[in-house]
Amino acid sequence: MLLPMSCILLICLLSSFSIQIKATKTFSNLTLPHQHPYPEAVVHELQQKINVSLFRRELLGKTQGGCLTGNPVDDCWRCDANWAANRQKLAECGIGFGRAAMGGKNGQIYVVHDSSDSDPANPVPGTLRHAVIQDEPLWIIFSADMTINLRHELIFNSFKTVDGRGANVQITGHGCITLQYISNVIIHNIHVHHCKPSGNTNIRASPTHVGFRGISDGDGISIFGSRNIWIDHCSLSYCTDGLIDAIMGSTAITISNNHFGHHDEVMLLGHNDKYTPDRGMQVTIAFNHFGEGLVQRMPRCRLGYIHVVNNDFTQWKMYAIGGSANPTINSQGNRYTAPSDPNAKEVTKRVETDDKEWSDWNWRTEGDVMVNGAFFVPSGGGMSAQYAEASSVQPKSAVQIDQLTMYSGVFGDPRDNGDIYPGFNGAGTTTGATSKGYNEGPSSDGGDFFGMIFKGSSSQAAPPAPYSSIVFVSTFLSLLIIFNLDIITNYDILLSLL
């Protein structure tokens, strides 16, 4: 059994060297200062991590009690029973173009214990608004389940993680989340819903700056001129405009493991067809579940480079993926389930563009599973220069899609959650401390984990599980090779940025 395993790992290792050789080629047309120079290398890296995680699941699933799913984000931290004492491990689990987002890593832990939002110009300590505007890196968690009913836009500062694990956190109201001209933000495991326009008021964006804001669009999460952003395991629905919009030169973004439901225009990537800096936009959309009540824009793209990989599209009324102004769309290993409407079977839509204009656009489908008559209309050259750096990806089976997306959205929500906010009226409340999803587990501070607003981070890890000697040796050698493989790949990409 060990010989075939070693052969598989050797092939993976040799493949990584091939990737690095290809990545030495030059890449032109860098329109943003933080645009990744080798986007196909990131595509390679993501697919490699998926394959490694799936292999690791087969290898270790039995010995570690079946906690592994094959999803590289979740498998990076979930198997640690004491994850709550090492929350910042999450920052090491990123994938895709937004994988470098640090969030509040190495910063203090800030505990939100007050759900109010009474004065956006002078936020109260202990509230989410007070936490996200601070200048220093912060890892923001919540003392209890709570609904935060915003009066106006929640404007973030750089280097923040909002970590809703262990609590049922709902953000709703007016304006919702705004990431404008900042970097390094992680938003994880929160509900964002029923967001409405707001503005024409003063809002504090940092401890030293209060500025006047006009009327917002009512997006769930608005990314404006920002970079190194990772949105993971959130549930988003029922907003006035987009659930997630990224515009005005934003780049280095990963949108992963989220659940989207009950919305018309789900996701917009790109400001308008003439805004040329968006040519440098690079977005990874991975392991998401596009669920009930969706109409279109999953996403709708302009200009940039969009990698759509291993998502489950279970409903749309018009189309799933749309675009204009010649974006590059790389669709790999997704499952597209078409609606019963015979006029809405096509996955793709070129928005207000003549056939002659889009025939050369690079839109491709590889390994996608088409269900109920769904079909994807590709264009451009399948092996054109735009994709010369990418290797062929084998189609993922429907079983693997189920594994990769089984925990999409907020942990503890049902997989097909339908309308989980029946009769929601937007009232702000704070409920008891009963957690939804994972239990916190024992902490290293004598049970006073939520005892104050600021706390230092902990790196306590869970003890290793016992193994038989043969399994231990084979597992150790396998993981050592996988570790070296990841290090080599990440080092190469880091060098490309220097």
Q: Is 297 a catalytic residue?
A: yes
What DSSP line would sit under 49-92, residue for residue? HHHHHHHHHHHHTTTTTT---S-TTHHHHTT-TTGGGGGGGGGG
Instruction: Confirm if 24 and 485 have CB atoms less than 8 A apart.
Output: no
Amino acid found at 157: N
Phi, psi (rounded to 5 degrees) for 17: -65, -35
Q: Token digits for 19?
A: 């990737």
Strand partners, 222: 178, 245
Amino acid found at 277: P
Sign of the alpha-carbon dihedral angle for 392, 253, 273, 262? positive
- Sheet of 183-188: strand order equals 363-366, 328-332, 305-309, 282-286, 251-256, 227-232, 183-188, 160-163, 138-142, 108-112, 454-455
Quickly tell me which residue has 């050259």 as its tokens: 381
Q: Cα 415 to chain center, whole Å?
A: 17
Burial state string for 119-154 with b = 16 or more CB within 10 A and e = fewer than 16 = ebeebeebbbbbbbbbeebbbbbbbbbbbbbbbbbb
Instruction: Confirm if 193 and 238 have CB atoms less than 8 A apart.
Output: yes
In 3-state terms, what secondary structure has residue 497? helix
Q: How far is CA 19 from CA 25, 71, 247, 254, 445, in A?
A: 11, 22, 31, 21, 45
Instruction: Confirm if 290 and 266 have CB atoms less than 8 A apart.
Output: yes
Q: Round to whole Å and give the CA distance between 493 and 498.
A: 9
Among 57, 78, 129, 297, the active-site one is 297
Instruction: Confirm if 17 and 48 have CB atoms less than 8 A apart.
Output: no
Active site residues: 297
